[in-house]
Amino acid sequence: AQSVAQPEDQVNVAEGNPLTVKCTYSVSGNPYLFWYVQYPNRGLQFLLKYITGDNLVKGSYGFEAEFNKSQTSFHLKKPSALVSDSALYFCAVRDWTGGRSIPTFGRGTSLIVHP
Amino acid sequence: NAGVTQTPKFRVLKTGQSMTLLCAQDMNHEYMYWYRQDPGMGLRLIHYSVGEGTTAKGEVPDGYNVSRLKKQNFLLGLESAAPSQTSVYFCASTTQSYEQYFGPGTRLTVT
């Protein structure tokens, strides 16, 4: 069975500082990894993904994530945080079960960027 | 492209009442999903569909039924609503490169 863990319920960072939102995963095969962002009263929006290739992937709004196979991690990063980055962030992993792709989401991490 | 749309946006039900939530996508996606989101619980998969005419159970299917009669529509039904089904419901569909597109959500309150 697959699983995703986001160990921090909340991350606080000052505007202009770098930010990291942590995600670790467990799958039986090769992972397909995703980050999504949710702004208040909205649906989730896709940010970036790792399927294969370069371990550092770049996504929307200046976000990037680093795939680390040995540590089974896929942390979300941004060099300089903006107040507008404040939102709920979800990590997700896809597993192929019986030929079907079933995504599993973490519980989410609330990012608060202080002015 | 409207993307993924959900109807209605808000609904209040009394215990025992029934309702259907409609999800529609205009991107020709095969896979569609229904999730519920509760505080501190993240997203939990209720049911999903891998194509027209097919449905399957997710993590929390009890108390819900679904149908996918047309490729672009995925319906979620509550036959006898319970207060435990108070939640925000999201529909999603998946591109061929595995990214999910989400609808804006339906906020359901069962009293």
Closest CA–CA distance from residue B80 to any residue of chain A (Å)? 26
Q: What is the pLDDT of residues B2-34, one digit of tens each?
A: 799 999 999 999 999 999 999 999 999 999 999
Q: Which residues in chain A touch residue B35, judged by CB atoms under 8 angstroms apart? A: 105
pLDDT at A47: 97
Closest CA to A47 of A33, A26, A68, A27: A33
Strands (E), chain A: 3-5, 10-14, 19-21, 24-26, 32-38, 44-50, 56-58, 64-68, 73-78, 87-97, 100-105, 109-114
Residue A53 has pLDDT above 90, yes or no: no
- Can you read off the two tokens belonging to residue A104? 């599993």
* pLDDT averaged over every residue in chain A: 93
Q: What is the pLDDT of residues A61-110, one digit of tens each?
A: 999 999 999 999 999 999 999 999 999 999 999 876 656 678 899 999 99
Q: Which residues in chain A touch residue B31, judged by CB atoms under 8 angstroms apart? A: 101
Strands B10-13 and B106-110: parallel
Residue A29 has pLDDT above 70, yes or no: yes
Indicate the SS3 state at residue B79. Answer: coil
